[in-house]
Amino acid sequence: MTDTIRLLLADDQALVRGALAALLDLEPDLEVVAQVGRGDEVVDAARASGAQVALLDVEMPGADGIQAAALLRAAVPACRSLIVTTFGRPGYLRRAMEAGASGFVVKDTPSGQLADAVRRVASGLRVVDPALAAESLASGASPLTLREAEVLEVAAEGGTISDIARRLHLSDGTVRNHLSSAIGKTGARNRSEAVSIATRQGWL
């Protein structure tokens, strides 16, 4: 059948990947042609399989789904990406769209709706979970600069101001300034709370 849509699944949980593949393969016009468990394997798998739509989880080793969507758009523009994630965070949605993803749905989407989302993405349309789209518009863009987000990401791993400064090749004073600014923008009381708020919003 010439109009079968070829799919690539990228999710670091084999059980989830298997369940998605089984569901999607039940559709007469969809065929799963490749599966990977890491974000940095997506581009090679898309090239090798000739996939037309890549279903990407957000949290994966190697590269997250949002990074993978950007890499895919640059390297294999014929393969469109659809983010399918447990984490329906407004910040993720905004970042995914900026990275070139064609769609964003959550994993508890009914299988019929997911299959329909795949078809719409394959035909060149954009598909976004409506509740998440409304939430994203309401919450607005991330208030953090790229550098502030980077400092918070490293701060999330623990360590002193000097440790963070060394990792990012910045001075201690610059790190303090970025942390202070990030704490203010997130409305947090301290850096661990700022990390928690920014993560929950999908800004990191």
Share of the chain above pLDDT 90, in %: 70
pLDDT tens for 43-102 read: 999 999 999 999 999 999 999 999 999 999 999 999 999 999 887 777 788 889 889 999
| Segments of the chain assigned to CATH 1.10.10.10 | 146-201
Over the range 43-79, which residues count as b (16 or more CB within 10 Å of their CB) and which as e?
A: bebbeebebbbbbbbbebeebbbbbbbbbbbeebeeb
**pTM score, whole prediction:** 0.69
160 versus 142: which is more confidently predicted? 160
Domain 146-201: give its CATH code.
1.10.10.10
| Segments of the chain assigned to CATH 3.40.50.2300 | 5-138
Tokens in use for 128? 């976004």
Residue 139 predicted with pLDDT over 70: no
Q: What does the mean pLDDT of the chain come to?
A: 90
- 5-138: CATH homologous superfamily? Response regulator (3.40.50.2300)
